[in-house]
Structure 1
């Protein structure tokens, strides 16, 4: 205790010190005359230690009450700071009490006190975290308070550990000028934004050189923090080294930009801060902005390059915390601001925008803190299971048509979108400031480009701007006009005009919505031929879109809680419109050749664009969104200016926008009844053209990878045969004529092997010739002939089938019960997913089965090793060399996060979909070898599977089987059908999966 008293007396004679641009603290409270006050009494100070007013400080540092989120010590800098109030600080950690208890342990145990000191500090850390976690549960949206509280907790521990090191471990009465040490927080710790499991990023600043004393103190502190279980990122540098490395490395430069004084020699910190401004910042503003934006773009690309990804990264994702940090870093580097609030003073944000900045930051910090608490680690990815749990913790409730997790994620995406909007405005202003600065100097100094006028708007530098602040108030229809002109003239909307539009969007009332001119302008924008997607996105960010079309405003940032839809409803819709525009311009001909032709044959292109806008407009309501959306279309289309006939077809398209994709993917297109039923609903060639276009853009706009050549092939086949049926009023050929035509085409493909057609025509039967495409028949005939000539009991052939973006697997074997489910099991064991299956039996009793297979990511198996593995796995399964059930249960599901969703199995029987077969559709959670289990259940129920069609919608699988009983007849409703339904539900259930996994 004597040593501690001497140390406290020494501090009164010690110099005060500090470092690089403290973005977080203002350690010295200066009075009116600029003289440091003895006691710091800021009440809203999360770094304060209320128990220590009037006490002496440990050696060589200033002990003041310090506030997280405050600015630096530049002379003349305003004192408007971001203050985060941390109430009841001593309930988190009482530094004086712990310091006294630590000193008592040293006095009692001497050199052997370390284990007890570590235990004391570890308990303080755990108690502090527990208190902050409790507060987060009580106030689940208090992100700033929680993050500031964790920084405060670490501050106090760092100070205690520092004082222990220099007082009890390496005490020295008179340190030399070189024995100087300042501790500064950098990174998120420097901003006083720490989630519960965040790394502790600390920089130790030493005097002119590294002395043994400094190294000993730093080492002692680090070992103590590591013993506490803290993840510490650290560096030890002199001021010269820190400045040199800041100039060379962007990451270090950014860390130094955010550095905050924590404890130690404040004069050293202040010296570094002044030199950082003078030597690193000044004159390098433009380079810093360029580098940070390049870094941001690379980060976005890694994270999916969209703020609407289904499992966003709260920290690094687009629209996340790091984007807000980037704005702050850029503003701080260019304008020397000390806090985000001062971005208002320098004109980069309006007060309303700054409030949006803080709200978004507070919400995102809260979500990140909940993630860390729930996972117990530094987890920043908002996975599906975490979304549900955090929605519950943040007190979101279910609403009709919208679950609590969807409401939570809607708010998340609204904040992410607002971050994107703030970023656009912010960077546009930065760009203009640089441009203005360049114009005042250099070769073109004094030269000014003349603005032109377009309908009263100023056009300058490729941007359209409102000429006055009250421009929209004078005529709110201009809120639509400005965006229509931007699209038509290929202009950007000036950031100040975007601000005005956001501010004035509330002027759009029912009178504006019903205004004929406003609706004509909106329709011109929607059907624009340049880039309506981008301009509609700008319109959406300002809120004008949702105000003008309130039904669209309801789906703004609305997430669909599943693994199939990658984007929010509004983003999906705008992307669909953009895809339609690209198809019309011929930019997607390779992927969508049919749609690229049809868009120029429809009677009204306005119908195509309005249908794309409205097809999901009723998502999130309590009911079928297709039915409800059709009613919305009947109201909106006349308002937009569409004719009665255009309104009818748009309403029909919205009602039936899923019809074509469901028919193509879930039904057997070779069954005449499938086509008859589909054509009966479509009824006209014009509807068919529009439906084909809308289906293509709808599927592709769902997300990356949802459109593939296989879906394109199925939709193309359905369109072609339906278009023929509509045009002729009947199928062009009868059954016999179709078989003969197919055989002639196959013979042409086979060339010198054309004789196989006549040889095998009767062997395979008419059903085979009708069901299979010409190119597959040609491959099958050669394979079958060779297998029979070699007298193989089993022949498996796999090859990459480019036309359908899949691998064609053909199996020829003696037909026997259970063959189908065993083949399916072998394919699953090799890592394949079956997307289509056609099962045939020759008149001689040989099975000839064709499967289209992809890997779990929707890609074909193309490498020889993959094809060999497929063949071997199927052969092993058919020869009973592997026990399928346990092996299949052990295979992990590629999308294991599907367990976050509730998917109850459902079985549907349809005896009207086919004249020959009963169609059974099973909807269930996607899981390893689901098809194998369902096929086995059908086999055990004494049913014959003639074809299978497999579709996946994220976590949900929809498997369709065309079946008959053993006599070739359909199933009748009754007890047997009920037993089959119960059996299929049982094998598709989660309970069955768990039973197999635990077997």
Structure 2
């Protein structure tokens, strides 16, 4: 945005030398020498790029210098080519007034901001429409640029055409706004610039701002609508380069500034804000240059696999608790955050100026509404404003009060007041943080009834949040380098608080009916909000963030004004905030021992209610699609079982009573077919009746009867199961060793993911296996063709009509970017989690063949699998198996456990996957 003097320009390209060589070659005839001339230009381009790459390695954050250097390099090449074409290829000794040509750089090239593989955008301007000489010259210049391998965006227009099209098209208008003279007829360029200002810009300022903001909002929505998405687009993402450029375009269009620094002179930025603008811009331009260099193409998305490479090139190093890539991305998001706050201040100023300039008409033309006073603040037009420049310096607690009043009264904060708050946030020192009044006000914001999420986000943008709660500042803009978390820690936390508020207002009753009821039953709603704030507060410190976070909670809660009981509750919730999800998703909820162990840790109904609330908002705030009905169902089942145990002091029914009750419920569901119970009930053992819900038992019995009547050796039935947001796949077959891993392989080959599996064998030797499956997007398989594919694939796998191992190995990873992460497989055994089974948990890189390979390893280890519970966390899979040995007992021998662990690690390893893929 500012013209830069490129140091040691001749090391990048020496135009005189290059032009001299081309003139010498052209002396032998430009046509004959063309290939040699192209080779000379290409060498100059490659040498220039190599020099700029070397400078980027030496000064990895010098974004302005490097992008300016690439624009300079293209300038010199374009000038050299133009002069060669005009002098040697199409010389015109006595040109007419129509045979004039101006070359204008537009877009990023016009701003002198070019990454190594940016497009070269050139506007060729000539006086009249029909100018054959101009057309010949333009065509020749373009062919030279194309021969150099450059991607050229170009337009060739007469002056009148340029003006007409700019009036009609926002994109053309924006490109010309950044126009910069490169070469050719300077008076023609000056005339074009004057006419553009007088005939296009004048009088259309408000329309341009409105259209530009609409364009910006649409772009944000397309790119994820958050500046904290963990794979940001450096150019087009929220808080990225395009947002900075939009500020410049608007400022230039309205105030006719030529450089970004002039935005200070016209009062849109303070000098300090402009320095922030330049720092953020320099960093992001540098990141973009590194992306282009690493990939060898115009790549603007900072994907997981590129983040490590760019972090290394920019000299970020590991620190305790934080990897180099996490430190690099935290710095990136801090810049994006700064861009966001600058954008807010800038646009609000523009908006206010337009409001002031809007002429009043009619009877009320002379009437000016008066501002009202609210605790000393001015409130006008739905905005709250500080009454004086020293307002916060007089009483720093007002920095918190401002946001509390905005939240409680549903007001926006005046841009000048936001600017003051950001400037004065440093006043929030030790004595203010300990002030009981300040903490009481902060708690009102945090647990606000209207929109705590939006107001806390403003508070974060202004830097007030992190100054008042320094522990929160430590997770500000901090990313978690995995594919599970979609947002930075601070954004995830603020979203969780917002979700809690929506649940309290009843806005999410459809997805969270239990939580919507519970939030009105808890003894302390403010404890729920503080727990949401603190649950991830210790991430990035090294060690277990839950344990460390509990220590932070014990220090902060009394400061916030929570009593001893609330403090103990919040500290426990922070320490145990993963307990409920781990139990629900990784353990068998029909096993009484699972519930007993969970209740032993929870110990009370108030804790249970709060834990349910925190678990729900924590999962949902991870990102879009993370919450689904399957997770809701499992958490609900765990909550209900634990609540019953806590209320009664024991489970309502013993094993025999539970089986009898289940059979009675199934009989009622079967209605006229209840006689099936008399025929088949005794073939299934008690474990089956306890494990399966009554609706699934009813379906199983109907299918079992049909397969027996038809004398089928294999029966596969698929049915959408809305309660779990999945498709139920039931396989009934003669039981034989290896059945489970073959069925799993068949399901995976059909493109389905298994999320839960229960394996049963009747007393007559038939397997009745129930699987819950989803498509790769977490939705049920519902199309007839999809269901047919699953049934066919299972049949082929069990009949050995398909080679499972090589076909599964060739299936792509569910997320191709998963290879960017190092996931070391880990196997753990637990003989205390169940009364009957050994529980085996395997954590490994997620892939289509994983469950099949693990199940095969268990089969080859002579183990019987009774249930499997599959959970995915982005690139990681956590698969839990309830197993016994062939005699029905637990596996306890250390030697045997060691052997099983080795087999499972081998099955889960990347090396094993590579071997299978190459087989």
Residues 235-288 of structure 1 show CA distances to partners (whole Å, capped at 9, x for unaligned) of 100011011011111111111111111000111111111111111111111111
Q: Counterparts of 2:359 and 2:465 in 1: how far apart (Å)?
A: 36
Deviation at 1:295?
A: 0.9
SS at match of 1:166: helix
Does 2:560 correspond to 1:674?
no
Tell me if the contact between 1:501 and 1:542 (Cα under 8 Å) persists in the aligned partners.
yes
Does 2:179 correspond to 1:244?
no
Query: In the TM superposition, what are the counterparts of 1:380-419 in structure 2 within 5 Å?
Result: 380-419=300-339
Query: In the TM superposition, what are the counterparts of 1:353-392 in structure 2 within 5 Å?
Result: 353-392=273-312
Tell me, which stretches of 5 or more residues in structure 2 are unaligned? none
Deviation at 1:909?
A: 0.4
Query: In the TM superposition, what are the counterparts of 1:505-516 in structure 2 within 5 Å?
Result: 505-516=425-436
Deviation at 1:447?
A: 2.4
Does 2:772 correspond to 1:878?
no
Alignment counterpart, residue 331 of structure 1, candidates 242, 246, 251: 251
SS at match of 2:473: helix
> What is the TM-score with the length of structure 1 in the denominator?
0.91
Q: Counterparts of 2:822 and 2:31 in 1: how far apart (Å)?
A: 59
Q: Counterparts of 1:772 and 1:899 in 2: how far apart (Å)?
A: 37
Tell me if the contact between 1:105 and 1:113 (Cα under 8 Å) persists in the aligned partners.
yes
Residues 820-862 of structure 1 show CA distances to partners (whole Å, capped at 9, x for unaligned) of 0000000110111100000000111000000000111111111
Does 2:163 correspond to 1:270?
no
Tell me if the contact between 2:30 and 2:89 (Cα under 8 Å) persists in the aligned partners.
no
Does 2:156 correspond to 1:256?
no
> What is the TM-score with the length of structure 2 in the denominator?
0.99
SS at match of 1:130: helix
Alignment counterpart, residue 548 of structure 2, candidates 628, 650, 655: 628
Alignment counterpart, residue 219 of structure 1, candidates 136, 139, 144: 139
SS at match of 2:754: strand
Tell me if the contact between 1:314 and 1:380 (Cα under 8 Å) persists in the aligned partners.
yes
Tell me, which stretches of 5 or more residues in structure 1 are unaligned? 1-68, 70-81
Which residue in the other structure is 1:688 paired with? 608
Query: In the TM superposition, what are the counterparts of 1:819-898 in structure 2 within 5 Å?
Result: 819-898=739-818
Residues 569-611 of structure 1 show CA distances to partners (whole Å, capped at 9, x for unaligned) of 0000000000000000000000100000000000000110000
Tell me if the contact between 1:439 and 1:446 (Cα under 8 Å) persists in the aligned partners.
no
Q: Counterparts of 1:317 and 1:402 in 2: how far apart (Å)?
A: 25
Deviation at 1:444?
A: 4.8
CA 1:905–1:323 in 2, change beyond 3 Å: closer, same or farther?
A: same
Alignment counterpart, residue 505 of structure 2, candidates 571, 576, 585: 585
Does 2:329 correspond to 1:420?
no
Deviation at 1:894?
A: 2.1
SS at match of 1:717: helix
Which residue in the other structure is 2:729 paired with? 809
Q: Counterparts of 1:351 and 1:330 in 2: how far apart (Å)?
A: 18
Query: In the TM superposition, what are the counterparts of 1:911-990 in structure 2 within 5 Å?
Result: 911-990=831-910
Residues 3-23 of structure 1 show CA distances to partners (whole Å, capped at 9, x for unaligned) of xxxxxxxxxxxxxxxxxxxxx
Alignment counterpart, residue 644 of structure 1, candidates 527, 552, 564: 564
Which residue in the other structure is 1:54 paired with? none
Deviation at 1:439?
A: 4.2
Tell me if the contact between 1:202 and 1:233 (Cα under 8 Å) persists in the aligned partners.
yes
Which residue in the other structure is 2:11 paired with? 91
Deviation at 1:441?
A: 6.3
Deviation at 1:110?
A: 4.6
Q: Counterparts of 2:457 and 2:366 in 1: how far apart (Å)?
A: 36
Which residue in the other structure is 1:46 paired with? none
Residues 733-781 of structure 1 show CA distances to partners (whole Å, capped at 9, x for unaligned) of 0011111111111112122112222322111121111001111111111
Does 2:481 correspond to 1:561?
yes
Alignment counterpart, residue 147 of structure 1, candidates 48, 67, 72: 67
Deviation at 1:173?
A: 1.5
Q: Counterparts of 1:92 and 1:445 in 2: how far apart (Å)?
A: 62
Tell me if the contact between 2:30 and 2:88 (Cα under 8 Å) persists in the aligned partners.
no
Which residue in the other structure is 2:913 paired with? 993
Q: Counterparts of 1:348 and 1:156 in 2: how far apart (Å)?
A: 35
Q: Counterparts of 1:178 and 1:86 in 2: how far apart (Å)?
A: 35
Q: Counterparts of 1:447 and 1:203 in 2: how far apart (Å)?
A: 50
Q: Counterparts of 1:838 and 1:278 in 2: how far apart (Å)?
A: 75
Q: Counterparts of 1:588 and 1:444 in 2: how far apart (Å)?
A: 44
Q: Counterparts of 2:818 and 2:328 in 1: how far apart (Å)?
A: 19
Tell me if the contact between 2:857 and 2:907 (Cα under 8 Å) persists in the aligned partners.
yes
Residues 702-758 of structure 1 show CA distances to partners (whole Å, capped at 9, x for unaligned) of 000110000000000000000000000000000111111111111121221122223
Query: In the TM superposition, what are the counterparts of 1:117-128 in structure 2 within 5 Å?
Result: 117-128=37-48
Q: Counterparts of 1:461 and 1:308 in 2: how far apart (Å)?
A: 31
Q: Counterparts of 1:177 and 1:302 in 2: how far apart (Å)?
A: 47
Deviation at 1:167?
A: 0.2
Tell me if the contact between 1:439 and 1:447 (Cα under 8 Å) persists in the aligned partners.
no
Aligned length: 919
Q: Counterparts of 1:410 and 1:210 in 2: how far apart (Å)?
A: 55
Does 2:265 correspond to 1:342?
no
Q: Counterparts of 1:778 and 1:436 in 2: how far apart (Å)?
A: 71
Which residue in the other structure is 2:225 paired with? 305
Deviation at 1:300?
A: 1.0
Does 2:460 correspond to 1:550?
no
Alignment counterpart, residue 781 of structure 1, candidates 662, 680, 701: 701
Does 2:666 correspond to 1:746?
yes
Query: In the TM superposition, what are the counterparts of 1:440-589 in structure 2 within 5 Å?
Result: 444-589=364-509
Query: In the TM superposition, what are the counterparts of 1:289-300 in structure 2 within 5 Å?
Result: 289-300=209-220
Deviation at 1:304?
A: 1.0
Q: Counterparts of 1:236 and 1:899 in 2: how far apart (Å)?
A: 46
Does 2:122 correspond to 1:202?
yes
Q: Counterparts of 2:555 and 2:893 in 1: how far apart (Å)?
A: 42
Q: Counterparts of 2:616 and 2:559 in 1: how far apart (Å)?
A: 27
Which residue in the other structure is 1:36 paired with? none
SS at match of 2:520: coil
Deviation at 1:337?
A: 1.2
Residues 863-911 of structure 1 show CA distances to partners (whole Å, capped at 9, x for unaligned) of 1111111111111001100000000011011201111111100000000
Which residue in the other structure is 1:15 paired with? none
CA 1:445–1:148 in 2, change beyond 3 Å: closer, same or farther?
A: farther
Which residue in the other structure is 1:664 paired with? 584
Tell me if the contact between 2:227 and 2:337 (Cα under 8 Å) persists in the aligned partners.
yes
Which residue in the other structure is 1:129 paired with? 49
Residues 106-125 of structure 1 show CA distances to partners (whole Å, capped at 9, x for unaligned) of 12455300000000000100
CA 1:641–1:889 in 2, change beyond 3 Å: closer, same or farther?
A: same
SS at match of 1:699: helix
Tell me if the contact between 1:924 and 1:957 (Cα under 8 Å) persists in the aligned partners.
yes
SS at match of 1:969: coil
Deviation at 1:443?
A: 6.8
Tell me if the contact between 2:814 and 2:846 (Cα under 8 Å) persists in the aligned partners.
no
- Residues 885-894 or 344-353, more deviating: 344-353
Deviation at 1:85?
A: 3.2
CA 1:561–1:110 in 2, change beyond 3 Å: closer, same or farther?
A: closer
Which residue in the other structure is 1:286 paired with? 206
SS at match of 1:111: coil
SS at match of 1:112: coil
Q: Counterparts of 1:202 and 1:538 in 2: how far apart (Å)?
A: 41
Q: Counterparts of 1:148 and 1:210 in 2: how far apart (Å)?
A: 35
Which residue in the other structure is 1:5 paired with? none
Which residue in the other structure is 2:236 paired with? 316
Q: Counterparts of 2:655 and 2:834 in 1: how far apart (Å)?
A: 16
Q: Counterparts of 2:359 and 2:586 in 1: how far apart (Å)?
A: 63
Q: Counterparts of 1:308 and 1:742 in 2: how far apart (Å)?
A: 48
Q: Counterparts of 1:919 and 1:724 in 2: how far apart (Å)?
A: 25
